[in-house]
Amino acid sequence: MALTRRVSSSIPHFFGFAERSFKSYKLPGGPSSSSSLTHGIHVFHCPDQVGIVAKLSECIASRGGNILGADIFVPEKKNVFYSRNEFLFDPVKWPREQMDEDFLNLSKLFSATRSVVRVPDLDPKFKIGILASKQDHCLVDLLHRWQEGRLPVEITCVISNHERGPNTHVIRFLERNNIPYHFLNTTKENKREGEILELVLDTDFLVLARYMQILSGNFLRTYGKDVINIHHGLLPSFKGGNPSKQAFDAGVKLIGATSHFVTEELDSGPIIEQMVERVSHRDNLESFVQKSENLERQCLAKAMRSYCELRVLPYEENRTVVF
């Protein structure tokens, strides 16, 4: 599937995603810390040619910026270039509007497929909606990470097909933090997708925190932005109901979790993050499930953070570059 050309300063949406080796460089030096300096991130995806790195560096340096880290990926025998730069700059000397214009000019120069710049301290936080079902472990983890400032997002709502009582931990937390909770009872015939779309219209992306419903292709096309899911294993193993018991009964020695983008094909979207842990004959079902749920929490949170930090780029049909 061809990638749609996009040059934007807003959050990128990735629908087609592949394998490569990475080249990472840390550039020496850097100005001393100053309250006037601000952190910026720029990602770039364009046809490969000589001089791209030089022009990117010149663009930042000419405005008084200083590159702190640069990640570059040029696949072997493919005419494509990926980069992600982190830099410090003075917003007085390099206003946000001027920054957008400078990177836009570079995009035109190199016929970029994607050029995205983000200044976390100046730009609005990403607005997200969280969908969950009965299991709380991923939802609760995300809520507490958000409360502690470890996830750079604004949670606009939590939507669930499972009703939670007024005195439950999740509901009390949401009420204290003024986060709306919407219970939408779903059936096989009615997934309430139209109502969900209305509730998440203003979000930048969605997170499925163990939402045990399949989103239709029509929903994904209408929403038109990225949806991040957590899967209870190393895809494509142990699909369907009660995956932990399936894996336990199979006597596996490694368990895992996979965070991936949601596509129309079930559990086949581009992978963002995977984590594994050893288990053994000494584990009972309870300890096995606890280890599995812990992996799911960590894997989903790391994938979300990577996405918000512009570390995830689409590559070929169904893979990702993750810097």
Relative orientation angle of helices 137-147 and 285-308, to the nearest 10 degrees? 40
What token pair was written down for 86?
A: 């982190």
Distances (CA, A) of 286 to 169, 210, 239, 279: 22, 19, 20, 12
Residue 47, preceding bond cis, omega within 30 degrees? no
Q: Do 300 and 207 meet the contact criterion of CB atoms below 8 Å apart?
A: yes
Catalytic one of 102, 123, 267, 283: 267
Q: Do 233 and 271 meet the contact criterion of CB atoms below 8 Å apart?
A: no
Distances (CA, A) of 127 to 53, 203, 207, 318: 32, 5, 11, 25
CA dist., res. 298 & res. 238, Å (int): 20
Beta bridge partners of 129: 157, 206
What token pair was written down for 133?
A: 């079902």
Whether 136 is catalytic is no
DSSP character at residue 87: E
Return the H-helix or E-strand segment holding 6. strand 6-7
The H-assigned helical ranges of the chain are 52-62, 96-109, 137-147, 169-176, 193-199, 217-223, 243-250, 285-308
What token pair was written down for 52?
A: 């791209």
Active site residues: 267
